[in-house]
């Protein structure tokens, strides 16, 4: 039986979960995988975490070299979080010839090219299934299940915090601020939720997934990003009668014009499978030229789902003779031959308050028409004396055209644009 010694760097939520899964399932892996996965070393500065997990003192390392240079260790699990220190630790492990498994999406997003170069130079593995969508095996699916397909679209709900917030706003009618505070109280949102609610977390994940799906480096700077901080209960309520649900979507498309990648709140038809993904669950919807549509759904975060993905990578590395690296040219900058679309097209929802007077609709539609925007659906109702609320859905149009129209409407004395939300197609 093949024995794999594991070092765990960091015993936070994920690292502690990895220790639990490895120790509690050791006999199971011996029976089902013919592998003896043994935790040989842990690096954690907080004694309370070590004691809470009952880790023997002889397995506690006091510095990173002690953990990664341990001759009984073949796989190193990075769970310390952050970027710079994690980068140093991972590089040290790779240069020691140890396979590294990480759930650190920001690290992989920003430095996979450097880490992979070190891995190749020292015949080490670098695996990161747990970096995207927690326990949902989306990376393995892209690499091993859909590799025969040319993928045209990848669209997903890949941040559980924002999905929980928007689900509660939808189902209970609470404000963004109320939903955010509830998410913090339940541990779904950090004390500083910026990375989640402003879309950075989803952007890092989309960078990784889009690179794999489209076989070209997609750095985060090429991804359009907008968070959910400006979403109101009124926005969500306006979408309901039109047949839409509001989600923070990560969207990647391969079009004739190039690669289109964006993260932003979007209305999506209630009939679409992603519309029914609620709470802190995640899902990724992929379209391939052979398979058609495929959706992966499950827990996108949490101690055991993410830990399970980490251990899955350890098993994969241990049971395959050769290490797998990125199926694209993994460099710091994107390939010069890759074109990115910066003026994407989609439909748009718009809500505005206008003067309730004869001819107001013709004035609005004239401005939109001059910007090349036509309307699919339009509703008007009295808001207060002398004012009316106007909501509309446009045909598919360009992002720049919409921004231009909003600026022109804002310069008038008869219309105030209150909300503009993209509509997923």
Query: What mean pLDDT is predicted for residues 399-419?
Result: 97
The residue from 98, 105, 205, 299 that is catalytic is 205
Specify whether the CB–CB gap between 103 and 80 falls below 8 A: no
Fold of 345-423: Alpha-Beta Plaits (3.30.70)
Compute how many other C-beta atoms are within 10 angstroms of the C-beta atom of residue 24. 9
Q: Which residue has the tokens 């031959």?
A: 337
pLDDT band, very low/low/confident/very high, at 385 (cuts 50, 70, 90): confident
Q: Looking at domain 138-300, which of 3.90.1170.50, 3.30.70.580, 3.60.130.10, 3.30.360.10 is its CATH number?
A: 3.30.360.10
Query: What mean pLDDT is predicted for residues 308-316?
Result: 97
% the chain with pLDDT above 70: 100
CA dist 108 and 90 (Å) reads 11
Structure confidence at residue 116 (pLDDT): 97
Which among 222, 215, 272, 232 is positioned nearest to 249, based on CA atoms? Answer: 272
Residue 187 has pLDDT above 90, yes or no: no
What digits encode the pLDDT tens for the residues 202-247?
Answer: 999 999 999 999 999 999 999 999 999 999 999 999 999 999 999 9
Which among 395, 402, 424, 393 is positioned nearest to 242, based on CA atoms? Answer: 393
Structure confidence at residue 50 (pLDDT): 96
Q: Is 205 a catalytic residue?
A: yes
Which among 101, 60, 107 is positioned nearest to 87, based on CA atoms? Answer: 107
C-alpha R_g of the chain: 24
Q: Which helix (H) or strand (E) holds 317?
A: helix 303-319
Structure confidence at residue 88 (pLDDT): 98
Structure confidence at residue 384 (pLDDT): 80
From residue 311, give the alpha-carbon distance in Å to each of 15, 94, 95, 350, 416. Answer: 11, 18, 22, 46, 53
CA dist 93 and 65 (Å) reads 8
Residues with Cβ < 8 Å from 80, sequence gap 6 or more?
9, 10, 12, 15, 86, 89
CA dist 170 and 267 (Å) reads 12
Q: Which residue has the tokens 């207060």?
A: 384
Output the six-digit token pair for 370: 């001059």
Residues with Cβ < 8 Å from 203, sequence gap 6 or more?
220, 223, 225, 250, 263
Structure confidence at residue 381 (pLDDT): 81
What digits encode the pLDDT tens for the residues 66-99?
Answer: 999 999 999 999 999 999 999 999 999 999 999 9
Query: What mean pLDDT is predicted for residues 143-167?
Result: 96
Q: Which residue has the tokens 């047949």?
A: 243
pLDDT band, very low/low/confident/very high, at 144 (cuts 50, 70, 90): very high
In CATH, what is the architecture of 2-134?
A: 3-Layer(aba) Sandwich (3.40)
Structure confidence at residue 302 (pLDDT): 86
DSSP codes, 106-175: HHHHHHHHHHHHHHHHTT--EE-GGGSSTTS-HHHIIIIISTTS-EEEEEEE--HHHHHHHHHHHHH---
Query: What mean pLDDT is predicted for residues 100-118?
Result: 97
Query: What mean pLDDT is predicted for residues 268-291?
Result: 96
pLDDT band, very low/low/confident/very high, at 301 (cuts 50, 70, 90): confident
Compute how many other C-beta atoms are within 10 angstroms of the C-beta atom of residue 172. 11
Domain ranges of the chain: 2-134, 138-300, 345-423
Output the six-digit token pair for 419: 């909300």
Structure confidence at residue 291 (pLDDT): 97
What digits encode the pLDDT tens for the residues 341-367?
Answer: 999 999 999 999 999 999 999 999 999
Residue 65 has pLDDT above 90, yes or no: yes
Residue 383 has pLDDT above 80, yes or no: no
Q: How many CA atoms lie within 13 A of 257 on its CB side?
A: 9
């Amino acid at each position: 039986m093949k024995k794999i010694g594991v070092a765990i760097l960091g015993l936070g939520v994920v690292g502690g979960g990895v220790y639990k899964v490895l120790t509690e399932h050791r006999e199971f892996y011996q029976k089902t995988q013919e592998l003896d996965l043994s935790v040989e070393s842990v690096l954690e500065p907080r004694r309370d975490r070590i004691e809470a997990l009952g880790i023997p003192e002889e397995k506690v390392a006091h510095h990173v070299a002690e953990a990664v240079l341990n001759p009984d260790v073949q796989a190193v699990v990075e769970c310390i979080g952050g970027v710079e220190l994690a980068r140093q630790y991972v590089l040290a492990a790779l240069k020691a010839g140890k396979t590294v498994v990480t759930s650190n999406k920001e690290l992989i997003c920003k430095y996979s090219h450097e880490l992979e170069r070190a891995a190749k130079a020292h015949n080490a593995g670098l695996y990161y299934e747990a970096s995207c969508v927690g326990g949902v095996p989306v990376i393995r699916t892209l690499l091993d299940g859909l590799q025969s397909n040319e993928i045209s679209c990848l669209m997903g709900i890949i941040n559980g915090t924002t999905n929980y917030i928007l689900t509660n706003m939808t189902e209970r009618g609470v404000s963004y601020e109320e939903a955010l505070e509830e998410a913090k109280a339940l541990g779904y949102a950090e004390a500083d939720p910026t990375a989640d609610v402003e879309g950075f977390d989803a952007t890092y994940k989309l960078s990784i997934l889009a690179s794999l799906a489209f076989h070209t480096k997609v750095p985060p700077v090429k991804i359009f990003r907008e968070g959910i901080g400006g979403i109101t209960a009124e926005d969500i309520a306006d979408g309901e009668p039109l047949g839409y649900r509001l989600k923070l979507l990560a969207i990647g498309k391969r079009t004739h014009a190039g690669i289109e990648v964006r993260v932003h709140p979007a209305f999506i038809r209630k009939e679409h499978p992603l519309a029914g993904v609620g709470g802190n669950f995640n899902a990724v919807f992929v379209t391939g030229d052979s398979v058609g549509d495929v959706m992966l759904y499950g827990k996108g975060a949490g101690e055991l789902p993410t830990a399970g993905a980490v251990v899955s990578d350890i098993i994969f590395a241990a049971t395959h003779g050769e290490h797998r690296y990125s199926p694209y040219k993994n460099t710091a900058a994107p390939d010069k031959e890759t074109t990115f679309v910066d003026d994407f097209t989609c439909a748009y929802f718009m809500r505005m308050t206008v003067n309730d007077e004869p001819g107001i609709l013709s004035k609005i539609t004239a401005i939109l028409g001059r910007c090349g925007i036509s309307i699919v659906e339009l509703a008007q109702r009295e808001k207060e004396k002398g004012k009316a609320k106007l909501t509309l859905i446009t045909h598919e149009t360009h992002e720049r055209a919409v921004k231009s129209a909003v600026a022109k409407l804002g310069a008038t004395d008869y219309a105030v644009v209150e909300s503009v939300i993209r509509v997923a197609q």
